[in-house]
Amino acid sequence: MTKSLEIPDCYYPKESVLVCPKNTTPRHTLYLSNLDDQKFLRFTIKYLHLYKKSVCAEDLKDSLSKVLVEYYPLAGRLKPSEEHEEKFELDCNGEGVYFAEAHADLTVDEFLQASSKPNRSWRKLLFRLDSQTFLDVPPLVIQVTYLSCGGMILCTAINHCFCDGIGSSQFLHAWSQLTCKPNAELLVTPFHGRHLLRPRVPPQISFSHPEFHCHEPSFDLTQFILSQPVVPVSVTFTPSQILSLKKLCVPSLKCTSFEVLASHVWRSWVKALDLAPFLTVKLLFSINVRKKMRPKLPIGYYGNGFVLGCAETSVDRLVVPNLQYGVKLVQQAKDCVTNDYVRSMVDFLEERKVKPDLSSSLVISQWSKQGLEDLDFGEGRPLHMGPLASEIYCLFLPVVGDIHAFTVLMSVPQSLANKFQHFLENFDERKMKEDDGFIRHLLHSLSCSESAIPTVCQIHVAVTFIFCGQKQPISFVTEEVPIVTGKNLSSVWKSYLGCTPKMAGGWCFSRAEIEHNSPSRRDGIDLKKESELRQSYCSLIQDLGMRLGAPQLTIATAMVFCHRFYIYQSHAKNDWRTISTACLFHAAKVEDTPISVNKVVAAAYEMIYRKDPDAPQRIRQKDVFDKQKALVLIGERMLLSNIGFDFNIQHPYRPLVRALNKFGITEKDVRQVAWNYVNDWLKTTLCLQYKPHYIAAGSLFIAAKIHNVKLPSGKDYVWWNEFDVAPKQLNAVVQEMTELLGYKRKGMQTCTSEKPAEISSAKKKDDSSSPESCVLSRPVSLSRNSSNGSDGQLEMINQNHPSSCNPADEQACLAAEVKTEVQPRVPDGSESVADGEASGKGMNNANSEPDQVVNEPRNLDMDKILAMRKKRKTERENEKRALAMKGIDEDDWIEKELERGIVFSAQSVVKKQRLADAFVKAAVSQ
């Protein structure tokens, strides 16, 4: 096992200080609920964040003093309750929190090389107070350690009696927000009261609460583990490995990633301990009850709002190859937690002597869904996030850069560490033994003949073993079987797919690769036809997903899968209807929103043949259904083979939402237009050309221009820095977006002085040989500007600023372009192909002339435009009220759309085009 990094001693140039709230705060005693004041929660949660660039300590202290005005209980102290000597309460006296500044001879790269496993030396990164009792420890202790390379490590220790993981994340995000924007209002207002979880009088205990009842095992596992030296074990599970774990549930079971991973870790832990088969073991895990209470706990409640779910069984029933039994136990434990169950537990905890049964239990705490990996104090998100120390309870940590992956971290006895890690990583030993002979034969054949073209099944098996969590291609070093090198594998891919996949370089392709070198082009399908097919399969995925109730995130993932598939495969040889159906079916599994294959097959068949009135009855025939189901499953296998089992798909939604919140943009029009643009780009090849945060930046830029919203800038900060995108890259992506929307920017001038350049309103004639159109009404290829002149060139950002042009001037250059003249284009009436045939009024035939571009601007009726905008505003207000009735906070509606998967109302193609024209014209007229 690899060794962890030993941290050198820290140097403290200053004494630690007490940071108090900046303004006067209320002085009173705050009641702690029974969920807050459990004895096993009397410890501190210690977070560690590593940043590439540092933030000034004075800025951190200043913003900390401001956020403590809102979170003033954290500046108080715990004290014994006057009513019950064993119970604690909070004295909100404004005494302050400890803040220490240190320096260490350490670099970011050195820490990252061995950051997966904490060790005891890491405790040097948190200031140690001389405290005699738990009550003497301040609720919040912070140390910022500046590294020799210019980076920093931020360590925070928060008393668990004050808040849980969600509450601590809420506070840390509020602190980071005020560090970036000192005068901004907090996105979430904290709710301090804990009286909502008071016990009933008299207590009403109506459940058994097995998490607190202790069996009498032959020995205490916790004592056994603590009696030995323990070492941390860290294993990262990729999305493909989690999917493989789900396939171990036989028969198939709808489950989340947490449920299957918790079951797998529990089983591996029990197998490593080698317990007697008849012993009873438990799995305890935290369950958020904020939305389970009736009424629900208020938004902003940052106290402990979780209870322990408990799954228990005997050892012999748990350690079986099939994971279904363990997953069902976890699901049943989650289903038991209702409002009545929580109320019963609060009453049960009124008896101060009760404590969780840890004698034969594994405790799991999930940190991966709290957003801790996104904590940004103004210099970018962290490169590493994790605990300061590893404990004997298990943590599910987020993986920076991959929202679908998990890192399992847990300390176990040193004598069992290798065994435990082996069971975690090799979870399907039976399958490995069964396939061992076949894999040896396959590797032997691949190494002997580079020209042989393997079958789909062979490619599927080879890719499974290579990409499912392995750091390098598997090779068997024996006398009979030669080693398979990367060259052999690359040649096999090339002979089978026609090109080598960009597994190392990501999924970003140039425009020329997409338009001129695609497999479809080699099979005689021109650019226009391929664009029509692309629109067709995206439309089918969107409609099918909405019919099946799939979240928008799942639909977006399916579209990206389909785009990636047709980068390596031709439309001439692979029916887009089958592949798009398979993509949606597989995306639902990847995004933890699985849909039954039977439902997918039936719904897809009815939609594809919707013009046939007999289709709903025909798909119910067994032979027809079995044939369609087999096609979808074969399509899924083809998809997996072509994408190389790469399920790490990130969308622009999260960067967009994060930026909107950070910039404080509350205009609903801007937020929804930017969101809708992100959805529209899914039907284009932008996801194959640019990174998700580039697309998010471009969408926000265009939405802000349409609504005349100024994006933030300062002396040393410009808004696009939030998206980690350079001006040149932003220029490129926005230019393509505006071309796809069907507009040409005219009269553009660059900013060469401190004042914004005046934008010329002179009109230039369009080149009719360069047709452009709206992305939703014409194929994407037709919206490209093919002329070589500069007439269609979009210079969004001056890339040759003089030496006197600072970031603020760059923002002025962008702001000056709001009034740039925009010429709308008339759509040609093309519609997507359905059922393999051209349909829809106005579809061009082979002999028709291309639509002519209208050069004259259309007369706009401003009264109609204002009426339209008023109507849309009314519709949005009605939608907001409807969401509020469902318990969705109006200030976080976009986040709820992303988290809950609520799909925006579908709009027609014509309506979207008219709205875009109206918004742009309204902006120009203003």
Helix ranges (H only) for 664-791 are 668-681, 686-689, 692-706, 727-741
Residue whose C-alpha is closest to residue 656's, from 717, 722, 718:
722
Which three-class secondary structure state does DSSP give residue 877? helix
- Report strand pairing: 77-80 vs 88-92: antiparallel
How far is residue 225's CA from residue 220's CA, in Å, rounded to a whole number?
Answer: 9
The residue from 49, 160, 192, 707 that is catalytic is 160
Instruction: Indicate the SS3 state at residue 500.
Output: coil
The DSSP call for residue 125 is: G
Tokens representing 561? 């899968």
Q: Which helix (H) or strand (E) is 195 found in, with range?
A: none
ω into residue 251 within 30 of 0, thus cis? Answer: yes
- From the list 37, 347, 374, 376, the catalytic residue is 376
At which residue do the structure tokens 């098996």 appear? 461
**How far, in Å, CA of 290 to CA of 284, rounded?**
19
Dihedral sign (CA 636, 606, 550, 396): negative
> What is the rounded distance in angstroms from the CA atom of residue 88 to the CA atom of residue 411?
30
Indicate the pairing of strand 230-237 with strand 152-159.
unpaired
CA 534 to chain centre: 26
Pair of tokens at residue 143: 């140390």
Does residue 835 carry a catalytic annotation? Answer: no
What three-state secondary structure class fits 91?
Answer: strand
Q: Are 37 and 194 in contact (CB under 8 A)?
A: no
Give me the helix-helix angle, 576-590 and 552-568, nearest 10°. 130
- Burial class of residue 709, CB neighbours in 10 A (0-12, 13-18, 19+): middle
User: How many whole angstroms separate alpha carbon 347 and alpha carbon 197?
Assistant: 10
Is residue 376 annotated as a catalytic residue, yes or no?
yes
Helix (H, G, I), strand (E, B) or coil at 159: strand
Q: How far is the C-alpha of 892 from the C-alpha of 873, rounded, in Å?
A: 18
**Active-site positions?**
160, 376
